[in-house]
């Protein structure tokens, strides 16, 4: 197998001084922190679905359409932005995209029609699609060669934000009205300020790192095997994120309808699930660096199947326990999948990040819309009975090539 030096992804990394490494680590934590703020704001949207459903008299299908609008706008642009910036990096695209999110949050706080809700969700999605590919590239540049660790730290920032979103929504918005959403613009403004600093570092890095001519990106496998492996990874993302969408979008409705808990209590159970997702995400990357990403992918998705199959048939206490286990196990795969794909297609860091973040959002949106329709037709509990079989697709991980050198 042809190997490629890690230096191709981090120009000048081999010569970095300890002070420079400290500065780079600060950048890595900065993009992870902004990912936290970004995904915290995004998590507010599904967290206030019960409020919006009542205020706007929405059906489950319409709730699913809001998620579909957000997820599709958050997914369709990402691969193209990643592909373009692989050739022509745009450091200040990061704060510009966050400003679009700022406008979307403001509109969400003032929307008075279903159409305006869709527009607000779409704007938040556009901001997300401009953030993820470039921020993922910055995380890789600041990794010092520990690509799994960097991707996990970046991703766990988003997961922590997703876990905090429902808690903040319950404290600030639920019971106080739609207008309180405007408080979340403060988080977005902080993100813009931090990203301005990150963009300056990124721009300076591009100027100072003389692009070393002669570094060629050689695919480690024949083209046909690369395409087959990427197809398998896409199928694994499909199974993982349609199931995750069923939990993140409808878990509160499921708990309220089946166990008759309050909205605040349901939000706490959702927080436990999302916190477990954050913990699993952080573990997945470093473990993949040590034992191999294929093993992590295999265990993460197929290993969740026994728990997802049991979830629809247990009581409230076991529902909480199983949801935490599912979050821990399933979430460890994504960082490993992204880095595995970047190793399959070296030199296309932004494009691969855009494809897989975009696929994650797109699949989640389609899954949420489909699950919403199933909930309207057959009931919310049927959603979890059908979705429980999806992790069985994890057996496809056996078809992935061995990439460890």
Q: Give the pLDDT band of residue 3 (cuts 50, 70, 90).
A: very low
3-class secondary structure, 128? helix
Which pLDDT tens digit goes with each residue over 16-40?
444 445 557 888 899 999 999 998 9
Q: Which pair of structure tokens corresponds to residue 204?
A: 């300076």
Region 279-300: mean pLDDT is 79
CA 288, CA 335: separation in Å to the nearest integer?
A: 9
What phi and psi, each to the nearest 5 degrees, are found at residue 328? -60, -45
Q: Count CB neighbours of 11 within 10 A.
A: 17
Q: Give the pLDDT band of residue 71 (cuts 50, 70, 90).
A: confident
Q: Give the pLDDT band of residue 362 (cuts 50, 70, 90).
A: low
Which pLDDT tens digit goes with each residue over 340-350?
887 888 877 76
Domains of the chain (ranges plus CATH)?
23-204 (1.20.1250.20), 222-404 (1.20.1250.20)
Lowest pLDDT segment from 120-129, 131-140, 212-221, 223-232 = 212-221
CA 389, CA 202: separation in Å to the nearest integer?
A: 43
Q: Give the pLDDT band of residue 76 (cuts 50, 70, 90).
A: confident
Locus of tokens 């206030």 = 48
Q: Say if residue 14's pLDDT is above 50.
A: no
Which among 334, 267, 332, 262 has a CA at the least distance from the CA of 304?
Answer: 332
Q: Are 2 and 218 in contact (CB under 8 A)?
A: yes
Q: Which pair of structure tokens corresponds to residue 325?
A: 């286990």
pTM, entire model: 0.67
């Amino acid at each position: 197998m042809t190997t490629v030096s890690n230096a191709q992804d981090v120009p000048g990394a081999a010569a970095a001084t300890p002070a420079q490494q400290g500065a780079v680590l600060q950048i890595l934590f900065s993009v992870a922190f902004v990912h936290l703020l970004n995904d915290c704001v995004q998590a507010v949207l599904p967290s206030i679905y019960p409020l919006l459903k009542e205020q706007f008299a929405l059906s489950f299908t319409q709730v699913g359409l809001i998620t579909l609008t957000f997820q599709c706008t958050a997914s369709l642009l990402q691969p193209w932005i990643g592909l373009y910036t692989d050739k022509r990096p745009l450091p200040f695209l990061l704060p510009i995209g966050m400003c679009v999110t700022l406008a979307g949050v403001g509109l969400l706080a003032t929307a008075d029609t279903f159409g305006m809700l869709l527009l607000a969700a779409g704007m938040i999605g556009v901001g997300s699609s401009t953030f993820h590919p470039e921020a993922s590239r910055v995380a890789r540049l600041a990794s010092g060669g520990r690509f799994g660790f960097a991707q996990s730290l970046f991703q766990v920032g988003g997961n922590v934000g997703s876990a905090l979103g429902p808690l903040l929504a319950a404290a600030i918005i639920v019971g106080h009205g739609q207008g309180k959403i405007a408080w979340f613009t403060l988080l977005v403004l902080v993100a813009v300020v931090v990203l301005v600093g990150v963009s300056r570092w990124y721009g300076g890095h591009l100027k100072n790192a003389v692009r070393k001519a002669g570094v060629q990106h050689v695919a480690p496998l024949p083209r046909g095997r690369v395409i087959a492996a990427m197809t398998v990874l896409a199928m694994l993302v499909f199974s993982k994120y349609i199931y995750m969408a069923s939990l993140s979008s409808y878990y509160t409705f499921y708990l309220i309808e089946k166990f008759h808990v309050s909205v605040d209590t349901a939000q706490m159970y959702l927080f436990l699930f999302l916190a477990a997702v954050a913990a699993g995400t952080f573990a997945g990357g470093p473990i993949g660096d040590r034992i191999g990403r294929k093993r992590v992918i295999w265990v993460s998705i197929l290993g969740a199947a026994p728990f997802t199959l049991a979830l629809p048939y247990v009581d409230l206490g076991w529902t909480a326990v199983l949801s935490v286990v599912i979050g821990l196990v399933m979430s460890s795969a994504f960082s490993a999948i992204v880095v595995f794909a970047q190793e399959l297609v070296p030199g296309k860091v932004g494009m691969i990040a855009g494809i897989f973040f975009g696929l994650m959002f797109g699949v989640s949106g389609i899954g949420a819309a489909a699950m919403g329709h199933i909930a309207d037709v057959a009931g919310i509990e049927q959603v979890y009975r059908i979705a429980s079989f999806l992790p069985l697709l994890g057996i496809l991980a056996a078809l992935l090539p061995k990439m460890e050198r």
